[in-house]
Structures are given as structure tokens and as C-alpha cells.
Amino acid sequence: MMTEQLTTGTGLMSGMTTAAVVGLAAGVYYLTTRTGTSVESSAHWPKEKQSQPYTRRVQPKKRKIQLALNSLDDFVPLGNVEPVDDVVRFFTSRGNEFSVYSIDWEQESVVLVRPVDGTDLKDHPFFCEAQRRNAAEILSIPFSRLQDVADVIHPKVAHVQNVFVYMTGRCGSTLLARAIDATSVAQAANEPEPFSTISMAANRSRRSRQKKDFFLKSTAVLDEDKTVQLLRNAVTLLNYHLVMTDPLRRDVIMYKLKVDVLLIGDLMYRAFPYAKNIFLYRNGMECLESWAKLWLRSKAVYSLVRASVRLGLWRWAPMVPEHFRCFGDDAKFTDQADGSSTFYTVALWVGAMQRALELQKLHPEYFFHCLVYYGALARGREMSLCLLLKRLGLKWNPEEHEEEAEKMRELFLKDSQAGTFLSARTRKPGEKWTKPSSASWLGDWDRDYMSRVCGATGNIPGPDFIFPDTML
């Protein structure tokens, strides 16, 4: 009888857990796929190579949450295609209005967007989302014409010093970008997505060369020399837009990148040999808990998810985008992979740390000019920022720039991601940051789980790993 009761109880628990997981997945699916627009259009974007540059008016599709990388499919095309016969001349006169938005591998073109008049793309925490929400017109430049455009504007941005921020995620990088942009010595763009679009294509190309049975949808960019050139040209166009639209004409430009761009760090080194590089990271357990609180919002829900993973019921990762799961799909994690979203979240941190370590060994003089731990930003704030700028060779003294320092202090009091779905606690723009509860959601099982995934790298011993010479 007791055995029967235990079996029934376990079955009931499994059933309840499965039901909760399915319900949660359905909710996420609804939020990420629900779209709406006030304009109906039968027009579609071309799905084949385009040799003619063109512009077209657009209306952004309305989405609650967008997890996929930006693309032309984010917009409803309006009116007619307007061919651009002389794209060099066009860009010389109007190029400052457009910023690089995405790469279209089917059209073999770079896609740029012009926002609605009067829009400041930096008002939103994420540059990529501001572009998508406020787009009024797109400009498509075929790869075959891109070099001509880059060459004509390069002299105007040749003096620009680029800084790239690589990171693990959930580590204060958005706050860092906004704080840097508050100074007069540098400006920052938070997560422009062409880097990730190129990163994912390069990653697929590399996997296709390693696995003969790996299906590659696009053959537009397979050659890494061309990938390096594409990166360089895309950044030239981005630099041009940011310098020309900045009232201060700040020529030190920081790009905070998504986690996946670490995968093409070797190509970034080739494309931008004189750039400065930062690696921002956080304790692995804290990172996992931050993601759990963001997506699940409730400790009870997380407990259900964790139970389903332990019971082997959650072997899938619904709606997890490619740029999030790219580290977990690496062959080195085959023995640890259980297909769950928990695994992909852990592998994201572990893979990012491992890749950062690999890049350091490849080019120690380049990776990294500054390593910053989340705690340094959370506690030191203004002092940490001054030290970071100093390590980058930039001079900024809060006592000499009181207005900027005050603006920065206000930023440190706010939730830097407020108003976006990436804020775990606030939904309205400008809301104040609130200290999270000290009660942890994680326990021994979570630490053991993460440690097992760390063990697959051979170099990252556990979630508490610290790089030498890190700002703590």
C-alpha cells in the first residue's frame, strides 16, 4: 500500500510539474509570438539576392517580447520600393540618418534604418530595440556595393577609437553603457545586433565545416576574410551615424555586445586590431539566479522547473533563440546537455567564460584591456567607472565635470533596463533600482549542476572563477 501511495504521489508530482511547465511554455510562446499592426499589407520582403540598393518606408510590427535577432521581418513594408541608383552619392548626402540594423543573408545585403524624425535612439536602454520600435524607412545596400560606401565615408571616421564590451550577461553591462554615454569623453551603443547576426552566421559556417551532415541555409558568407571585411564595413557605417548625430561629436565609441559575439573574438581581432576591449562578468550562480528571476518571476515556479529538470521531464528549451543556445550546442557539452533551458542558461555563462579565457591565450595583449567584475560596478560605481576609463586611456574626473557626474549618479539610482522585458523588477522607464531580496532561489543541486557543466571545459573550475587582474 505504501509503495502504491509513493508511486501515486510521484506520478502526481510529475504530472503537476509537467502541467506547470507546459503552461509556462505556452505563456512564453504567446508573449514572444504575439504581433499586431494597424496596417494590413500583402507586400513581402524579397527572399533572394538583390543587386540594386533601395529604400522603402516601413511600419514596425508590435511585439510584446522579441527574442530573435533583428531582421527585415520586424517591419511591414509600406508603399513602393525606391531604387537607389547612386548609393554612394545617396549615403554622402543622407547616410547620417541611417544606422546599421541587420544583415540579410538571403538578399545578401546590409539593412539600415532611419528612425521617425526627432527620435533619439539612445533614450531607450537597448540601441537595437530603439531602432526596431522607431523605424520609418529602411535602406538596403548589397554586399557588392558596401565597400564603395564604406570607402567614401571612412576618412570622416578614421580617427574614431572603438571600445568593445564583451560579457556573460546579467552583469551590469547595460548600466555600464549608459554611464559611459553620460560622459563627454565617450559615447556608447548598447547591443547593436549586426555583430550577433554576423556571429551566428560565422558560427554556423564553422560548424558546417566540422560536421558534414550539418545543414547550412545560407552560403552568403562562408569565407572568414569576407566576414572580417563585413564586420569592418558595418562598424564604419555605425561609427559614421553615431559621430554625425552626436551633438558633442564624441569619437570614442563603445559598443556593448551580446554574449555570443565572444565566439568571433578572433575575427573581431582581425577586423579591429586597434580597438580597446573590456570583459564584464559575474559569479556563475548569481548569473543563473538573475536569469531565473527574470524569466520565471517566482521562486515557486523556478522550483517546479528545477524539479522537472531533475526528473528528466524538461528536455526542451522552448523559444530559446540561437544566439542564446549557441554555447550549449557546442560538442564539448554533449555529455552534460539535457536539452533544458536551465542547461542552456548555465552553458551560456560557462561557454562565455571559457571563450574569454581562450581569447586571452590567443591574444593576451588584446583580450582584455580591462576585466570588470559585477561587484565593482554594483559597489564602486563612480570610482569603478573612473578606473575603467583610466585603463582605457581616457581622462575623466567627476570633480571637473560636475554636471556629468550628477547625471551619472542619477543613472546609478535607476534600473538601467527599466521599461524592457529584461528588467526583472520594473516595467516603466525611469523607475528606480531596488535591491533584490537576499533570499537565494538556488541550492546545492544548482551548484552541483553548474559545476558539472564547468567540468566539461577543463579550464573553468566552477561558478566562482575569477580572472587575474580583475577589477573587483
Residue 441 counted as domain residue: yes
The 10s digit of each residue's pLDDT in 295-325 is 999 999 999 999 999 999 988 787 899 999 9
Task: Show Cβ contacts of residue 325 under 8 Å, excluding neighbours closer than 6 positions.
Answer: 317, 344, 347, 348
> For residue 470, what pLDDT band results from cuts at 50, 70 and 90?
very high
The per-residue pLDDT for range 177-186, each reduced to its tens digit, is 999 999 999 9
Residue 15 belongs to some domain of the structure: no
pLDDT for res 52: 98
Q: Is residue 393 in some structural domain?
A: yes
Encode pLDDT of 346-405 as tens digits: 999 999 999 999 999 999 999 999 999 999 998 888 899 999 999 999 999 999 999 999
The separation between the first and the last C-alpha atoms of the chain, rounded to the nearest angstrom, is 58
Contact 164, 275 (CB under 8 A): yes
What is the three-class DSSP state of 115? Answer: strand
For residue 265, tell me if it sits in a domain: no
Q: What's the rounded Cα separation, in Å, for the pair 318 and 280?
A: 28
Compute the chain's Rg from CA coordinates: 23
Domain encompassing residue 289: 284-471
The number of angstroms, rounded, from the C-alpha of 247 to the middle of its chain's C-alpha atoms is 26
Position 381 scores a pLDDT of 85
* pLDDT at res. 425: 62
240-250 pLDDT tens trace: 999 999 999 99
Give a yes or no: residue 7 inside a domain. no
Coil, strand, or helix at residue 183?
A: coil
Q: What is the pLDDT of residue 209?
A: 82
pLDDT tens for residues 190-223?
999 999 999 999 999 998 887 755 445 554 546 9
Our count of domains for the chain comes to 1
Which whole number is the average pLDDT over 410-429? 78
- Given a contact cutoff of 8 angstroms between Cβ atoms, the answer to whether 41 and 78 are in contact is yes
Distance set, CA 162 to CA 72, 74, 235, 369, 372 (Å): 27, 28, 9, 12, 18
- Give tens-digit pLDDT for 443-459: 999 999 999 999 999 99
> Which residue do the cell numbers 551560456 mark?
348
Residue whose cell numbers read 562578468: 281
Rounded Cα distance between 22 and 217, Å, is 30
Cα–chain center distance at 338? 24
CB-neighbour burial class of residue 161 (10 A; exposed 0-12, middle 13-18, buried 19+): middle
Q: Is residue 368 part of a domain?
A: yes
**pLDDT in the model for residue 3:** 42
Q: Give the Å distances, CA to CA, from 206 to 104, 209, 258.
A: 19, 5, 19
> Is the residue at 297 inside a domain?
yes
| Any domain includes 63 | no
Prediction pTM value = 0.91
Distance CA 403, CA 379 (A): 21
pLDDT at 13: 43
